[in-house]
Amino acid sequence: QEKHDPEFRQSIPSIADALTKVIEQHTRLSQPRDERFDIYETSNLPTIQLQEYINRIAQYTYISPSSMLAAVIFLDRLCERYPSFTLSDRNIFKLFFGAVRVASKVVDLRSLNNKNFAAVGGVGNRHLNELEDAFLKYIKFDLFLAPPEFAEYSKRLNPPITSSSVPRHIGTDPAQLALEEQRRRRSGEQP
């Protein structure tokens, strides 16, 4: 996944943060649990942090950053379709994993088989098949990703790099930089 490292370094914390904020908001709503989604509930809280889990998925499943973003879009569609459904610490891991699995099959040209994909997420192959099947049914196979929608989610989750965080040397002619450096040295000026 080295080729996607820069994108994942930026997007994974943003995705984990966004999902955590939604979980916090949903927890404050204190709605009764929607039993239709019990397949995604875990009996014990996972010991791994959400960001670490998302990072693990990215590292070992060979998915693209686009698949990760598509999973977020699909989760959002699920929440919109079922307003009484709430994300929680007990369902987010399996829900996100199921959404990523579906997204990887929609977006990426190649993907791990379900047996190997399941091992990364800490579930059995059969259970991953069930998670994937249920997820597809709950979102009613609404898998089309319109470019404007994709771009909007990307913009929300991946804030642009600020000009202060971009080295001033990017986009500058190397010969010009060398001349500037010589001028500074002669004048005793600090960079």
pLDDT in tens, 163-177: 333 334 344 445 554
**pLDDT tops 50 at residue 133:** yes
Please state the pTM of the whole predicted model: 0.78
The pLDDT of residue 110 is 87
Residues 30 and 188: their CA atoms lie apart, in Å, by 64
| CA distances, 135 to each of 21, 124, 171 (Å) | 22, 16, 45
User: What's the DSSP call for residue 55?
Assistant: H
Give the total residue count for the chain.
191
84-124 pLDDT tens trace? 888 999 999 999 999 999 999 999 988 889 999 999 999 99
> Is the pLDDT reported for residue 76 higher than 50?
yes
Tell how far CA 190 is from the center of its chain.
41
> Using CA atoms, how far apart are residues 184 and 175, in angstroms rounded to an integer?
14
Q: Which structure tokens are listed for 6? A: 């820069």
Note the pLDDT of residue 171.
41
pLDDT of 172 reads 42
What percent of the chain has a predicted confidence (pLDDT) above 90? 50
Q: What 3-state class would DSSP assign to 135?
A: helix
Tens digits of residue pLDDT in 26-73: 888 877 778 889 999 998 888 899 999 999 999 999 899 999 999 999
pLDDT at res. 179: 59
E strands along the chain, which residues?
Answer: none
In the prediction, which pLDDT does 166 show? Answer: 36
* Dist CA 54 CA 85 (whole Å): 22
- Average pLDDT on 126-141 reads 96
